[in-house]
A and B are shown apart, each in its own frame.
Chain A
Amino acid sequence: MELIQLAVGGVANGCIYGLVALGFVLIYKTSEGVNFAQGDLMMLGAFVALGLGNSAQMGLSFWLAVPLAVCIMFCVGWGVERVVVRRIFGQPQFALVILTIALGFVFRFVAGSIWGYSPLVLETPFNGVNLRFGELVISMADLLTIVITLALTFGLWTFFAHTRIGLAAQAASQNQMAAYIVGIPVMKVNSLIWGLSGAVATVAGVLYATRGAIDPNIGLLGIKAFAAAVIGGLGSLPGALLGGMLIGVVEPIAGRYAPGGIAIMSPYIIMLAVLVTRPGGLFAQIHMKKV
């Protein structure tokens, strides 16, 4: 029973890693680089929602504050591409890595100077609501996290597989030159994807905030999410989610049953094991590239 209880909490945690990892995958697919500010986008999204929704701040209703925060962060992601990332177009991949690490610092500083560095709690209508299934206790926040994550992943998958713009975005990531040739406005598609990853990060941030206090340093969770994205094989949306869940489930179980310290290392141990056995990640597209 204890194991199941741990696993449920772990899945919910893993969903958040998975959502941040989705952001990594989105950017990796379009800009061919890793956005190390993804965790900080999540943090900023959570704070924007908190700033809009908490009664001590703007005091909007939770159900209004969250969509508004998602929209604002979509614009932030879009703007980051428009104003900064576009300028390093054509530079080596490493430029994007350095750039996004720096952006992460900027976001942390911005959030810190607006909302301070002490932990804050997002007020939600379901704070402390728990559901009981026999001996199993599931908090409303955990349940919502799981449901929303699954829905969002499915939504993103549908967007990429079945819409005209989604198809264009896939095309732009697979062969940029050919995408230009068939008349896809590649730059606009890239901006859109950055916006989308900002929006996804905000959803992750809000879900994270429903489960505990937030401070400007929660963005460092992005490193674990990066491990999740690598485990799934950077470039696969379902892979990212699964990688996140794997880490999320193993972490609390290792914390309970394994010697101290293992739990913190577990995401990276899994990442190493995956990289050694399946270098492309669990859901790699790479093996097809040899054709």
Chain B
Amino acid sequence: MTVLSVRNLETFYGAIMALRGVSIDVKQGEIVTILGANGAGKTTLMKTIAGLMEPEKGSIEFNGNSISGHEPDRVVAEGVVLVPEGREVFPYLTIEENLRLGAHTRRDNYAEDLELVYSYFPILKERRKQSAGYLSGGQQQMLAIGRGLMARPALMMLDEPSLGLSPLLTQEIFDIISRLNAEQQVTMLLVEQNAHIALATAHTGYVLEMGRIVMGGSTEKLRASDDIQEFYLGRSEETERGQKRWKRRKTWR
């Protein structure tokens, strides 16, 4: 079942067209990744879905209801939560207060969810009375993910969870992302620069270039594609003469 369906989305930064008609589908229970270089429009896509930016054209449907152009708080209440790039915690509030704010739109009791977050991130429980500003980068990323979970999201959008983290920590974060998906059935939309780990974690993927989706499909299929191999996974092919090919056309150009 499709939870999120984006059709022909166009978003502008002033006069600059950042998204040029993007269409993606996210199915229930899946992890969907969006690959793309810097400036391809990945973050813009997430911000537009989250309601932080206004789309010019196109539609965003979540569980059959249109959420395009809604205020961010209504989007969160619908069950779509963004874990932003660069962590963005509340530095002077304690970790527990940060987590409680994640449940801001909820009126029911969230004590259980707090325990759930602590069970995935024990370090947060240990330091729950400390200011979030004192956490290390990896711990802030955990806090940002935990804060997202507190809203009990139907769809969680993760923007570059590996940004600025060591390879080991990145692996740890992605293990937890996989576990959350498998154990808590959280559907996820994942933007990531590290194509290796993103393709290994996700079920479906899209390639976004210059504001357009140029490729999509299951991650097995994407991994097998020559273009992905060369431009995103960095495998270099040698020609018969033993020279590295330095210029090659992408199939979609």
Q: Footprint of B on A, CB under 8 Å? A: 164, 167-168, 170-171, 174-175, 177-185, 285, 288-289, 291
Contact = CB atoms under 8 A, between A and B. Distances in A.
Contacts of A288: 91-92, 131, 133
Interface residues of B, number: 29
Interface of B: 50-52, 71-73, 75-77, 81-82, 84, 88-93, 97, 100-102, 104-105, 131, 133-134, 147, 151
Nearest to B76: A183
Contacts of B147: 182
8 contacts: A171-B101, A177-B88, A181-B76, A181-B81, A181-B84, A183-B72, A285-B92, A291-B133
A291 B134 contact: yes
Given A288-B133, A289-B133, A182 B93 contact: no
A171 B133 contact: no
A170 to B, nearest CB: 6
B52 A181 contact: yes
A291 B151 CA distance: 27
A183 B105 contact: yes
Q: Which 3 A-B pairs have the closest CB atoms?
A: A183-B76, A183-B105, A178-B88
Contacts of A171: 90, 93, 101
Contacts of A285: 92
Given A182-B101, A182-B151, A183-B76, A167 B93 contact: yes
A167 B97 contact: yes
A289 B92 CA distance: 9
B134 A178 contact: no
Contacts of A181: 50, 52, 72, 76, 81-82, 84, 88
Nearest to A164: B104
A168 B151 CA distance: 15
Contacts of B77: 183
Contacts of B84: 177-178, 181
A289 B134 CA distance: 9
Nearest to B51: A180
A262 to B, nearest CB: 38
Given A170-B90, A285-B92, A184 B101 contact: yes
Nearest to B83: A181
Contact of A167 (B75, B101, B105, B151): B101
B104 A168 contact: yes
B89 to A, nearest CB: 7
Contacts of B73: 180, 183-185
A291 B131 CA distance: 11
A178 B52 contact: no
A201 to B, nearest CB: 25
A161 to B, nearest CB: 9
A190 to B, nearest CB: 14
Contact of B52 (A164, A170, A174, A180): A180
A182 B104 contact: yes
B72 A180 contact: yes
Given A174-B91, A288-B91, A185 B71 contact: yes
